[in-house]
């Protein structure tokens, strides 16, 4: 004869085991249904060295279609080219943040910036930046103006800027903003002033 308290304990243990089994089954299902996050295969670059500087980024805001100057503290290397790249990395970190005022697609990157004398810059974007960019005249114009004006406002002597995608020429960013020619920095500066909040 099994004592009553042992029988009750057995029942409780069996019930607990069943409950845990159901819970484990439920957890396994939910894990299976969540898609695995894409593996980030980007190579890790060496950490940026250089003093932290106060720079001005020109940040696009979709809510009112404006371009606003925003001060930021960014570690800036000494080379002109590396400085331009760091400026755009800082800008993209704002756009890729959860509270982004101007959403870019996940994985959007500036691959590199080349400064070519006299007065030319080439900004090379990756395909995720352009292929998944939202389509529209204003939304594309804000992206282009933000990139070019941020670089030109912080880099002396720039006259013209070309935007490439994966190292190649492309007609438009996402169907509207022209990428086929060099942008005139003076004209983009004028556009940036048109895009300031009223």
Partner 1 sequence: MTVAIARSLRKQLESRGISTLVLRDSDANLPVDQRAVFANADHAAIYIAVHASSAGHGVRVYTALLPYGEDDHGPFRSWTTAQRSALPLSQSTAAAVSGELQKRQVPVRTLTAPLRPLNNVIGPAIAIEVAPQAADVAQLMAPDYQELVTSAIATAIAANRDQLGGAP
CB of 109 to partner 1, least distance (A): 22
Instruction: Count CA atoms closer than 13 A to 11's CA, side-chain side.
Output: 7
CB of 126 to partner 1, least distance (A): 20
Q: Which is nearer to partner 1, 53 or 178 (CB)?
A: 178
Q: Which is nearer to partner 1, 50 or 65 (CB)?
A: 65
CB of 61 to partner 1, least distance (A): 11
CB of 74 to partner 1, least distance (A): 27
CB of 153 to partner 1, least distance (A): 17
Q: Which is nearer to partner 1, 112 or 172 (CB)?
A: 172
Q: Tell whether omega for the bond before 118 is within 30 degrees of 0, i.e. cis.
A: yes
* Six token digits for residue 48: 């940026």
Distance CA 25, CA 22 (A): 5
Residues 6+ apart with CB under 8 A from 31: none
Q: Site residues (CB under 8 A) for partner 1?
A: 62, 64-65, 134, 136-139, 141, 144, 159-160, 171-172, 176-178, 180-185, 187-188, 190-191, 194-195
Q: Which is nearer to partner 1, 86 or 141 (CB)?
A: 141
* Six token digits for residue 138: 């204003």
Distance CA 79, CA 178 (A): 29
Q: Give 39's DSSP letter.
A: P
In sequence order, the β-bridge partners of residue 59 are 68
Q: Which is nearer to partner 1, 107 or 136 (CB)?
A: 136
């Amino acid at each position: 004869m099994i004592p009553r308290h042992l029988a009750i304990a057995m029942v409780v243990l069996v019930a607990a085991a069943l409950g845990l089994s159901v819970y484990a089954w439920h957890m396994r299902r939910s894990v299976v249904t969540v898609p695995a996050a894409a593996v980030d295969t980007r190579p890790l670059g060496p950490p940026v060295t250089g003093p932290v500087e106060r720079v001005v980024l020109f940040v696009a805001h979709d809510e009112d279609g404006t371009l606003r100057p925003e001060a930021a503290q960014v570690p800036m290397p000494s080379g002109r080219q590396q400085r331009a790249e760091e400026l755009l990395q800082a800008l993209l970190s704002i756009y890729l943040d959860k509270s982004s005022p101007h959403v870019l697609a996940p994985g959007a990157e500036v691959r590199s910036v080349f400064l070519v004398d006299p007065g030319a810059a080439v900004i090379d974007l990756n395909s995720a930046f352009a292929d998944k960019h939202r389509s529209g005249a204003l939304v594309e114009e804000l992206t282009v103006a933000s990139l070019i004006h941020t670089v030109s406002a912080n880099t002396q002597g720039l006259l013209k800027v070309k935007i490439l995608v994966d190292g190649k020429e492309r007609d438009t960013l996402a169907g509207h903003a022209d990428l086929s020619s060099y942008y005139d920095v003076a004209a983009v500066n004028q556009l940036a002033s048109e895009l300031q909040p009223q």
